[in-house]
Amino acid sequence: MIWKAWREETIPVLGLILSITGLVTNRPAILILGLFFWGLAILSSYLARRSLALIAVKMHVVEPQAEIGQSVQAEMIVENPLPWPILDMQWKVDLPQAVHPEGPGTTLVVPGGSRQTLTGTLWVRGRQRVRIQYHLTGETRGRWNIGPGSLIFRDPLSWNELIREDSSLYYFTVWPRRYPLPSGFWSRNPTSGSLHGRPWDPPDPIQVLAIRPYQPGDSVRHVAAHASARMARLMVKQLEPLVDRTIEVLLHPKTTDQHWHGVDRDLLEDSISLAASVVEVAVRSGLTTGLSSTGSIAGHVRGFTLPAQKRADAADLLTALAWTQPSGTMDEDLPLVLARLDRRLVRGATLVIVSPYWPAILTEYLSAKAQRGLEVIFLTLGDTTPAVPHWIRHVWHFQKGEWVRA
């Protein structure tokens, strides 16, 4: 620090003193020496301003999404367009402690904090571009910001210490874990749908709505033999049109009775992982898939509802679950989320509820819809015999990686 103060402040003062002394004593040598120091100070200031203005630093994360434990490549690019070199340049990148860096540099961790700093030193020659590459491994689910970054360097005369900041933030999303669903999870043909299909849709041979008399043009494959013999006339099966089945996933990640009791992190992560498992399987099966949650994400603090799409992007749904965080108003937000889902919960649709417990409001809200053909599947991580309404025939309990049908 003494040498830094000497370089930045004392040398210009020394040049001023020598110049005044040379003028007062009429000694040209002292005057020239003072002007020399003044010239060096001016040159050093000019080089420092040019270096600070033109040195460029950019950060980049190659893959913005990754699985837990998967490494992605990140890089920091330092470009020196000036003709003189920059020596002993120190670079820094701010990282969350939930992300493990590997590569050049040293990791500095502040005890008790949630952030860490990856730092290192390099030399950059004149008109050279340097790429610093390292790998990031997400250790827990979440939406993590990488940055800001900075460079600490000196001008070519080493008289001025400069700091070049890159305040940009780059987000790195770590998706939740997924678990295999139990066999027989889908209780019926996953391609059967509601009664709102188009007239030209082929019928579903599994869903028989009624038996009616034969009419000219009916397919003989739909003849009901037993009904025809009993009625003594030709009867046919009236089948349900075949349309795409809609899968709605509702996540209610409340892990304690009261929000001031805190959050059970293990229970929270398992709940989100179960929702992610159902979403991934539904999308891969080509089903129309929607996702809702009472948890909050960026831009939606009172729960969110993603529209059901025929060709939904699993990455978008998994990213939303990776960003999901619990809030203290999840019980109050549940009616709002259900109101957004109201038009989508029709006959033939399947509602998969993922929650550590069964909220009482769901019984009141879903009982009539269940009687009209809405299928409800409940995935829980709480009690192995949860108190649920009798019309929910599909209750699965998940604990320590194993499924039990309650």
| Cα(337)–Cα(291) distance, integer angstroms | 11
Tell me the average pLDDT across 10-32. 77
**What's the confidence (pLDDT) of residue 8?**
55
Q: Which of 13-17, 74-78, 140-144, 189-193 has the highest mean pLDDT?
A: 140-144
For residues 390 and 263, membership in a common domain is answered with yes
Q: What is the pLDDT of residue 196?
A: 42
Do both 259 and 391 map to the same domain?
A: yes
Q: Does 181 map to a domain?
A: no
Q: Which domain holds residue 62?
A: 56-174
Q: Is residue 185 one of the residues assigned to a domain?
A: no
Domain boundary among 126, 158, 174: 174
The pTM of this model reads: 0.75
Q: What is the CATH number of the domain that holds 129?
A: 2.60.40.10
Is 190 part of a structural domain of the chain? no
As a dihedral over the C-alpha atoms of residue 138, residue 140, residue 142, residue 146, rounded to 10 degrees, the angle is: -40
Q: 97-124: per-residue pLDDT in tens?
A: 999 999 888 998 878 788 999 999 988 8
Omega within 30 of 0 (cis) for the link into 148: yes
State whether 269 and 367 are in the same domain: yes
Question: How many CA atoms lie within 13 Å of 339's alpha carbon, on the beta-carbon side?
Answer: 7
Residue 220 pLDDT more than 50?
yes
Q: Are 231 and 284 members of one domain?
A: no
Domain count, the chain: 4
Do 124 and 214 fall within a single domain? Answer: no
Q: Is position 196 within any domain? A: no
pLDDT for residue 25 is more than 90: no
The reply to whether 155 and 64 lie within a common domain is yes
Structure confidence at residue 4 as a pLDDT band (50, 70, 90): very low
Q: Are residues 254 and 230 in the same domain?
A: no
Percent residues over pLDDT 70 in the chain: 89
Say if residue 30 is in the same domain as residue 159: no
**Alpha carbon distance 116, 121 (integer Å):** 17
Would residue 363 count as lying in a domain?
yes
Look at residue 218 and tell me if it is in a domain: yes
- Three-class SS state of 217: coil
My answer on whether 40 and 78 are in the same domain is no
C-alpha 215/C-alpha 166 separation (Å) is 75
Q: Is 3 buried (19+), middle (13-18) or exposed (0-12) by CB count in 10 A?
A: exposed
Phi, psi at residue 373, to the nearest 5°?
115, 5
> Can you give the pLDDT at residue 332?
92
**Is residue 150 in a domain?**
yes
Looking at the structure, do residues 220 and 252 belong to the same domain, yes or no?
Answer: no
pLDDT above 60 (res 188): no
Which of residues 217, 241, 265 is at a domain's end?
Answer: 241
Specify whether 390 is located in the same domain as 289.
Answer: yes
Domain shared by 252 and 392, yes or no: yes
